[in-house]
Amino acid sequence: MPMVHTHYVAYPAILDDRENVPGIYTVTFPDVAGAISEGIGITDALSNGAEALELMLYDEKNLPNATPLSDVQAENPEAIVSYIMVDLVAAAKKVQLGEPTSIINSNKSENVIPSTPTYEELVKINRELEEKLFCCQLNNRVKEGPGELIPSEKVIKSSQVHNPFTSLSDKDLFD
């Protein structure tokens, strides 16, 4: 059995949903400029963050030093801070195999990636992501349940109390 060579690296990631809908996290890496992602829920955010980290670092010769996790946590007390580990050798193989990606690294001198998706492919990816987001939102609403069921009599009474036109007849309103 051949020996598998790997090159693992780990960097602190900041998962922050303060500027998003709660539960949709933006993922950034203070040590790796340009490695930005997002995800619906922590698991999705960590997975997407790992992919962003892989794509930024898989072909780097000089890797940046990782800031201690405690320093990043101190600077971001309201966010989730966690290490994300990736295998750069496996990431390079994924890129060489042409696995689909929609991330272009604008911080590198070579802005054009040979396997850049076409406009039609990006539209398809966008539609799939929108469908995934819709399904996640729908699933969350189903899990939450219908909430408190209010009898229609209460709804009618409450709308009459606040409706200034209830004392007017249809003739007064529409003539």
User: CATH no. for residue 91?
Assistant: 3.30.160.250
Query: What's the pLDDT score for residue 158?
Result: 52
Residue 53 belongs to some domain of the structure: yes
- Phi, then psi, of 12 in degrees rounded to 5: -70, 135
47 with 98, same domain? yes
Q: What is the pLDDT of residues 21-48, one digit of tens each?
A: 888 999 999 999 999 999 999 999 999 9
92 with 154, same domain? no
Residue 126 belongs to some domain of the structure: no
State yes or no: pLDDT of 106 exceeds 80. Answer: no
Residue ranges making up the domain that contains 85: 8-109
pTM of full prediction above 0.75:
no
> Scanning the structure block, which residue is given the tokens 């109390």?
161
- Cα–Cα distance, 141 to 23 (Å, whole number): 13
